[in-house]
Amino acid sequence: MARLCVVGLGYVGLVTASCFASLGHGVVGLDKDQGKIDLLSRGVSTFFEPGLDELLKNGLGKSLLSFTDDFKTAVSQAEIVFICVGTPPHENGMAEMSQVEEVSRCIAGSMNGYKLIVEKSTVPAGTAL
């Protein structure tokens, strides 16, 4: 089973992290919001999604799912890193990319070997080039 890190624990990232843990993968969920990390670590979901509470509690109980705000630890232990931070639209429709750029720099600063980086946030075509 793979060792995963999911960066950004909003609607997309928390569901992604919980589902991969339910499949038996080891997942570290990372967010900069310490309040969110505290709640999730106690098995308290930060929004309602059918079935999510159960997946969250099962993942924590089996030690397949954990949460942190520490990039160095989370990224260095992972084989695959998912970027799931927000990209809200500007008034002109362009995506606000600052969160993706910030976490990309944090991931780069925590690299200790080859990683597969999966860009799951909605971004303009060509962003990864």
Ligand X SMILES: NC(=O)c1ccc[n+]([C@@H]2O[C@H](COP(=O)([O-])OP(=O)(O)OC[C@H]3O[C@@H](n4cnc5c(N)ncnc54)[C@H](O)[C@@H]3O)[C@@H](O)[C@H]2O)c1
Site residues (vs ligand X, CB under 6 A):
7-13, 30-33, 36, 84-87, 99, 102-103, 121-122
Crossing angle between the packed helical segments 11-22 and 52-61, to the nearest 10 degrees: 50
Indicate the Cα dihedral angle 33, 39, 42, 43, nearest 10°: -110
In the complex with ligand X, the residue whose CB is nearer, 10 or 43, is 10
CB 41 → ligand X: shortest distance, Å? 14
81 sits in which H/E element: strand 80-83
Q: Could you tell me how many helices (H) and strands (E) the chain has, helices first? A: 5, 5
Work out how close the CB of 63 gets to ligand X at its nearest, in angstroms, rounded to a whole number: 22
Q: Of 65 and 84, which CB lies nearer to ligand X in the complex structure? A: 84
Q: Is the dihedral of CA 71, 75, 77, 78 positive or negative?
A: positive
Nearest-angstrom CA–CA distance, 107 and 58: 28
Name the residue nearer to ligand X (CB basis): 58 or 127.
127
Select the residue whose beta carbon is closest to ligand X and give its number. Answer: 10
Q: How far is the CB of 8 from ligand X (least distance, A)?
A: 3
| CB closer to ligand X out of 24 and 103 | 103
Least gap, CB of 121 to ligand X (angstroms): 3
